[in-house]
């Protein structure tokens, strides 16, 4: 129910003042009207009096003209007579017009009219009877006829004049009184109106002051509210910036999509850019089918639709093939609904757990190798005991049956089998890390010189042996006999892989395995090592074969062509010595086996005492296109480049890199692996890029050694894997800053 507003005193006073002004105005108007009526009455009375005066004047002219004519007999003297008669008729008609509506005045005028006409008729009779010429009659004759009528007319005129003058006087007195009363009323009204208006203005002023005070208070409240709003806005902005900073620096990839617009990308963070290998401006505002192959785009769309339709979060692992390897992604998708429960956004968080899964696989392989090693060690121990019994028995039999050549031959065969079994046991003990080692300080360059001739005879004439010795090579703390056996075993494996024809490369080098490399290899301790690399130009190995290469009795050779204990023996010896072994191989590109032998600590300490301090690590702000098919290596490399200040673009192979180049991606340096899947090597990629961008700076890297790959790029340097962060930084600055370097040198 609506309530009526209670009238305020100001409003009541305002309407009272308006009513008072209206009343005074009405009185003034009424008085004015009455004054106008009175003025009209006075004007009428004056007109009547003037008319009576003119009427009597006309009668006087009639009488005077007739009298002069009677005396002189001259017709000219009749002019006043005739004018008087004419004026009488005219004035009489106007008097009748002015007194119409006033019976009393009409009666008086009529009676005066009758008396005056009687006088005129009497005079006309005397004048008409006067001869045209001759003596003049007695003018006294005019006093006889019509005299009574003339007297009546004069008397009536006097009565009318007296009456009208009395009325005129009364009316003037009434008008004066009316004017006085009107003036008094008007003055009082004006005074009251002015007083009311002044009071109203006073109240209005107070109301205005209150309003001004209220407005000032409102402005203060508005200012306070604006301050709070600004503070809240700044707080929200800081929160948004903080949230944006958190999202941008999360290691997990974050995607925000719009399910109402075909799942268009609304937001991606830096990790998402690296995961997809595209800059943010190529992702935000686009759809999956604009970015990916049709099969992958349809898969993403089906998964997104499943989450938004069910209104429930989804979590799963997904394996994606990337170049020669694969990456494992842990994907979480959450629908964000509006107030009506309809999906408004789709949030996807993707974590690359490839490294975690690889480490888990490494751990499982290590556990499996340890279990096999323990089993092999236990079997070897018991088998050695059996071989000892057999050996002793065979020697006793040989001595006892010395006169029987046939039985002696059987004994010799038994002893030979025992020796072969002993060699097998030795290999098993080596794999189980239970063999007896005699480590000493060994310089591998000198050791290679001692066995070069033996290697060449073992390899044959159709295999070219190439050796590159590292400069100022550190000494390694190892068993020299085991080193010789390892080199010989690797050379024989390489010969078999090359089917007796090709090139075998052996290189030595000082290397330092840093924390990043150790984080990707559980069995590796960061530190200084002496590297011995053996490379061949054979058929290469698949990742599946590499994962089993160190297991005992695993071999890809035909039956009877190998025991499968060569690499496992080297693996056990390396691990027992505190070193590391790594295989780099891809089908069609040969194989490189790198042995990382521990640097002797005492000599390292002596060398460090007088060594030159390492150069300061210097980064940059340039953009680098990283092309690496191994996602773990690429991730670690990009992390190092980010820490050095560089901006990175990523590609898993040459085809992806060329797609970025054709799309106009800008970068200062191409850092590419040499051996990659997809039919395009790093050399071919560099040549294709330089056809589009002449003079493009390039840095190559490879797990193969320099001698193991065809290095036909002129002055473009090669950074061998693994490399330290300092070596990476120096190699990049050497190219980007145009430092002089020897053509084809190894950075």
Q: What is the pLDDT of residues 409-455, one digit of tens each?
A: 777 777 777 666 665 655 555 444 445 566 788 888 888 887 877 77
Count helices and strands in the chain by DSSP H and E runs:
19, 17
Q: Which of 91-100, 233-242, 709-718 has the lowest mean pLDDT?
A: 709-718
pLDDT at position 323 over 50: no
Question: Is residue 384 very low, low, confident or very high in pLDDT (cuts 50, 70, 90)?
Answer: low
Question: Is residue 396 very low, low, confident or very high in pLDDT (cuts 50, 70, 90)?
Answer: low
pLDDT at position 377 over 50: yes
pLDDT of 690: 93
Query: Residue 116: which residues within 8 A CB-CB, separation 6 or more?
Result: 55, 58, 59, 88, 92, 149, 150, 153
Q: Is 298 helix (H, G, I), strand (E, B) or coil?
A: helix
Please state the rounded mean pLDDT for residues 154-172. Answer: 70
pLDDT of 562: 56
pLDDT at position 82 over 70: yes
Per-residue DSSP letters for 546-611? HHHTTSTT---SPTTS--S-HHHHHHHHHHHHT-EEEEEE-TTS-EEEEEEEEBPHHHHHHHHHHS
pLDDT of 745: 37
Range from 402-406, 556-560, 690-694 that averages highest in pLDDT: 690-694
pLDDT at position 18 over 90: no
Whether the CA torsion 676, 682, 688, 689 is positive or negative: it is positive
Q: In this structure, are residues 517 and 633 in contact, taking their beta carbons and an 8 Å threshold?
A: no
pLDDT of 625: 94
Residues of the chain within CATH 3.30.565.10 domain(s) are 440-610
- Name the CATH superfamily for 623-736: Response regulator (3.40.50.2300)
pLDDT of 688: 93
Distance CA 212, CA 427 (A): 103
Q: What is the pLDDT of residues 263-303, one digit of tens each?
A: 889 888 888 887 787 788 888 888 888 888 888 888 888 88
Q: In this structure, are residues 113 and 92 in contact, taking their beta carbons and an 8 Å threshold?
A: yes
Whether the CA torsion 282, 283, 289, 293 is positive or negative: it is positive
pLDDT of 474: 93
Question: Is residue 696 very low, low, confident or very high in pLDDT (cuts 50, 70, 90)?
Answer: very high
Q: What is the pLDDT of residues 666-679, one digit of tens each?
A: 999 999 988 787 77
- Measuring CA to CA, how many Å separate 371 from each of 378, 431, 551, 552? 11, 11, 11, 12
Question: Is residue 72 very low, low, confident or very high in pLDDT (cuts 50, 70, 90)?
Answer: confident
Question: Is residue 351 very low, low, confident or very high in pLDDT (cuts 50, 70, 90)?
Answer: confident
Q: Is 467 helix (H, G, I), strand (E, B) or coil?
A: strand
pLDDT at position 402 over 80: no
Residues of the chain within CATH 1.10.287 domain(s) are 358-431
pLDDT of 563: 59
Q: Which fold has domain 440-610?
A: Heat Shock Protein 90 (3.30.565)
Q: Which fold has domain 253-352?
A: Beta-Lactamase (3.30.450)
Element (H, E) at 326: strand 325-337
pLDDT at position 163 over 60: yes
pLDDT of 732: 92
Name the pairing type of β-strands 343-352 and 253-258: antiparallel
Q: Which of 18-22, 138-142, 269-273, 327-331 has the lowest mean pLDDT?
A: 138-142
Q: Which CATH architecture has domain 9-204?
A: Up-down Bundle (1.20)
Element (H, E) at 181: helix 147-249
pLDDT at position 324 over 60: no
Residue ranges with strand state E in 610-741: 623-627, 647-651, 669-673, 697-702, 718-720
3-state per-residue secondary structure call for 9-34: HHHHHHHHHHHHHHHHHHHHHHHHHH
Q: Which residue has the higher pLDDT, 29 or 455?
A: 455
What average pLDDT is seen over the chain?
A: 75
Distance CA 318, CA 330 (A): 6
Select from 596, 590, 465, 476 the least CA-distant residue to 537.
Answer: 590
Supply the DSSP symbol for 745: -
- Measuring CA to CA, how many Å separate 682 from each of 304, 679, 702, 705? 37, 10, 9, 15
Please state the rounded mean pLDDT for residues 397-406. Answer: 69
pLDDT of 149: 58
Q: Which residue has the higher pLDDT, 408 or 324?
A: 408
Please state the rounded mean pLDDT for residues 243-264. Answer: 84
What is this structure's pTM? 0.45
pLDDT of 546: 78
3-state per-residue secondary structure call for 522-562: CCCCCEEEEEEEEEECCCCCCHHHHHHCCCCCCCCCCCCCC
Please state the rounded mean pLDDT for residues 235-239. Answer: 82
Supply the DSSP symbol for 703: S
Q: Is 170 helix (H, G, I), strand (E, B) or coil?
A: helix
Please state the rounded mean pLDDT for residues 45-56. Answer: 73
Q: In this structure, are residues 703 and 676 in contact, taking their beta carbons and an 8 Å threshold?
A: no
Which contacts of 548-551 are long-range, i.e. CB under 8 A and separated by 24 or more positions? 549/583, 550/369, 550/581, 551/368, 551/369, 551/372
Distance CA 465, CA 480 (A): 21
Residue 597 tokens read as 């032998």
pLDDT at position 146 over 70: no
Residue 529 tokens read as 């090592």
Supply the DSSP symbol for 471: T
pLDDT at position 707 over 70: no
Q: What is the pLDDT of residues 104-132, one digit of tens each?
A: 767 777 777 777 777 777 777 777 776 65
Q: What is the pLDDT of residues 168-183, one digit of tens each?
A: 677 677 777 777 777 7
Range from 76-85, 414-423, 541-550, 625-634 that averages highest in pLDDT: 625-634
Q: Which fold has domain 358-431?
A: Helix Hairpins (1.10.287)
Distance CA 372, CA 550 (A): 11
Terminal Cα distance for the chain, rounded: 92
pLDDT of 255: 87
Q: What is the pLDDT of residues 572-628, one digit of tens each?
A: 777 777 888 888 888 878 888 898 988 886 554 444 444 445 566 788 899 999 998
Q: Which residue has the higher pLDDT, 246 or 510?
A: 510
With pLDDT > 70 as the criterion, what percentage of the chain qualifies? 71
Q: What is the pLDDT of residues 463-505, one digit of tens each?
A: 888 888 888 899 988 878 778 878 888 888 888 888 878 888 8
Name the pairing type of β-strands 647-651 and 527-536: unpaired
Q: In this structure, are residues 244 and 225 in contact, taking their beta carbons and an 8 Å threshold?
A: no
With pLDDT > 90 as the criterion, what percentage of the chain qualifies? 6
pLDDT at position 229 over 70: yes
Helix, strand, coil fractions of the chain, as percent rounded to 5: 60, 15, 25
pLDDT of 223: 87
Residues of the chain within CATH 1.20.120.1730 domain(s) are 9-204
Q: What is the CA radius of gyration of the chain?
A: 67
Whether the CA torsion 227, 232, 236, 239 is positive or negative: it is positive
């Amino acid at each position: 129910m609506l309530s009526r507003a209670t009238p305020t005193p100001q409003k009541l006073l305002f309407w009272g003042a308006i009513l008072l002004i209206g009343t005074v105005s009405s009185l003034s108007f009424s008085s004015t009207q009455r004054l106008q009526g009175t003025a009209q009455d006075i004007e009428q009375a004056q007109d009547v009096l003037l008319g009576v005066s003119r009427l009597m004047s006309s009668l006087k002219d009639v009488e005077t003209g007739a009298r002069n004519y009677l005396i002189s007999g001259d017709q000219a003297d009749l002019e006043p007579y005739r004018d008087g008669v004419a004026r009488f008729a005219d004035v009489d008609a106007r008097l009748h017009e002015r007194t119409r509506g006033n019976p009393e005045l009409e009666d008086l005028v009529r009676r005066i009219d009758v008396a005056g006409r009687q006088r005129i008729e009497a005079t006309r009779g005397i004048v008409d009877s006067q001869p045209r010429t001759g003596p003049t009659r007695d003018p006294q004759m005019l006093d006889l006829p019509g005299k009574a009528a003339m007297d009546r007319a004069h008397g009536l005129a006097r009565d009318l004049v007296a009456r009208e003058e009395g009325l005129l006087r009364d009316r003037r007195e009434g008008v004066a009184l009316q004017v006085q009363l009107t003036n008094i009323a008007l003055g009082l009204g004006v005074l009251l109106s002015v007083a009311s208006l002044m009071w109203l203005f006073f109240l209005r002023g107070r109301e205005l002051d209150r309003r001004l005070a209220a407005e000032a208070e409102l402005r203060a409240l508005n200012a306070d509210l604006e301050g709070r709003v600004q503070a809240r806005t700044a707080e929200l902005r800081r929160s948004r910036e903080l949230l944006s900073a958190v999202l941008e620096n999360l290691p997990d990839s974050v995607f925000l999509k719009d399910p109402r617009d075909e799942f268009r990308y609304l937001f991606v963070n830096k990790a998402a850019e690296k995961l997809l290998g595209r800059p943010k401006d190529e992702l935000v505002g686009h759809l999956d089918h604009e970015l990916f192959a049709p099969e992958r785009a349809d898969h993403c769309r089906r998964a997104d639709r499943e989450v938004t339709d069910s209104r429930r979060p989804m979590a799963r692992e997904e394996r994606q093939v990337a170049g020669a390897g694969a990456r494992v992604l842990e994907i979480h998708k959450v629908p964000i609904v509006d107030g009506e429960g309809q999906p408004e956004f789709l949030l996807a968080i993707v974590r690359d757990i490839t490294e975690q899964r690889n480490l888990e696989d490494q751990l499982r392989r290590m556990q499996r190798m340890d279990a096999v090693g323990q089993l092999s060690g236990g079997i070897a121990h018991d088998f050695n005991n059996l071989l000892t019994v057999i050996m002793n028995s065979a020697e006793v039999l040989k001595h006892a049956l010395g006169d029987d050549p046939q039985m002696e031959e059987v004994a010799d065969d038994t002893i030979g089998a025992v020796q072969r079994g002993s060699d097998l046991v030795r290999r098993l003990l080596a794999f189980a890390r239970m063999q007896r080692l005699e480590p000493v300080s060994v310089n591998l360059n000198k050791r290679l010189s001692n066995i070069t001739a033996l290697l060449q005879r073992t390899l044959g004439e159709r295999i070219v042996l190439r050796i590159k010795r590292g400069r100022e090579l550190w000494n390694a703390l190892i068993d020299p006999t085991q080193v010789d056996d390892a080199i010989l075993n690797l050379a024989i494996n390489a010969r078999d892989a090359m089917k007796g024809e090709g090139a075998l490369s052996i290189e030595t080098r000082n290397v330092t395995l840093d924390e990043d490399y150790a984080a990707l290899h559980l069995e590796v301790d960061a530190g200084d090592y002496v590297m011995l690399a053996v490379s061949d130009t054979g058929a290469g190995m698949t990742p599946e074969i590499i994962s089993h290469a160190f297991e005992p009795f695993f071999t890809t050779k035909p039956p009877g062509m190998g025991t499968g204990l060569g690499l496992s023996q080297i693996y056990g010896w390396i691990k027992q010595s505190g070193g590391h072994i790594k295989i780099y191989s891809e089908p069609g590109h040969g194989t490189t086996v790198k042995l990382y032998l521990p640097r002797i600590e005492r000599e390292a300490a002596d060398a460090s005492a007088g060594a030159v301090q390492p150069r300061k690590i210097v980064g940059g702000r340039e953009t680098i296109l990283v092309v690496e098919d191994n996602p773990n290596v690429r991730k670690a490399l990009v992390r190092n480049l980010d820490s050095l200040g560089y901006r990175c673009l990523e590609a898993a192979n040459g085809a992806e890199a060329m797609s970025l180049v054709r799309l106009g991606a800008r970068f200062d340096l191409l850092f590419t692996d040499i051996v990659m899947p997809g039919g395009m090597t790093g050399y071919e990629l560099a040549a294709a890029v330089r056809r589009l961008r002449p003079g493009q700076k390039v840095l190559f890297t490879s797990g193969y050694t320099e001698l193991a790959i065809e290095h036909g790029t002129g002055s473009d340097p090669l950074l061998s894997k693994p490399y330290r962060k300092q070596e990476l930084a120096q190699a990049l600055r050497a190219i980007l800053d145009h430092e002089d370097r020897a053509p084809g040198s190894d950075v």
